[in-house]
Amino acid sequence: EVQLVESGGGLVQPGGSLRLSCAASGFTFSDYWMHWVRQDPGRGLVWVSHINSDGSTTTYADSVKGRFTISRDNAKNTLFLQMNSLRAEDTAVYYCARDVWFDYWGQGTLVTVSS
Amino acid sequence: EVVMTQSPATLSVSPGERATLSCRASQSVTSSLAWYQQKPGQAPRLLIYGASTRATGIPARFSGSGSGTEFTLTISSLQSEDFAVYYCQQYNNWPYTFGQGTKLEIK
In degrees to the nearest 10, what's the CA dihedral of A93, A2, B92, B60?
-100
Tell me the pLDDT band of A43, cut-offs 50, 70 and 90: confident
How much is the average pLDDT of B94-104? 97
Q: What is the DSSP string of chain B?
A: ---EEEE-SEEEE-TTS-EEEEEEESS--TT-EEEEEE-TTS--EEEEETTTEEPTT--TTEEEEEETTEEEEEESS--GGG-SEEEEEE-SSSSPEE---EEEEE-
pLDDT over 80 (residue A41): no
Residue A108's pLDDT is: 97
* Residues A50-101: tens digit of each pLDDT: 999 999 999 999 999 999 999 999 999 999 999 999 999 999 999 999 999 9
Determine whether the interchain pair A105/B45 forms a contact, defined as Cβ–Cβ distance below 8 Å: yes
Mean pLDDT rounded to a whole number for chain B: 97
Determine whether the interchain pair A101/B50 forms a contact, defined as Cβ–Cβ distance below 8 Å: yes
Determine whether the interchain pair B44/A108 forms a contact, defined as Cβ–Cβ distance below 8 Å: no
Chain A: residue whose CA lies nearest to B100: A44
pLDDT over 90 (residue A4): yes
Tell me the pLDDT band of A42, cut-offs 50, 70 and 90: confident
Nearest by CB to residue B95, choosing from A45, A47, A106, is A47
Mean pLDDT rounded to a whole number for chain A: 97
Q: What percent of chain B has pLDDT over 70?
A: 100
Residue A92, SS3 per DSSP: strand
pLDDT over 90 (residue B75): yes
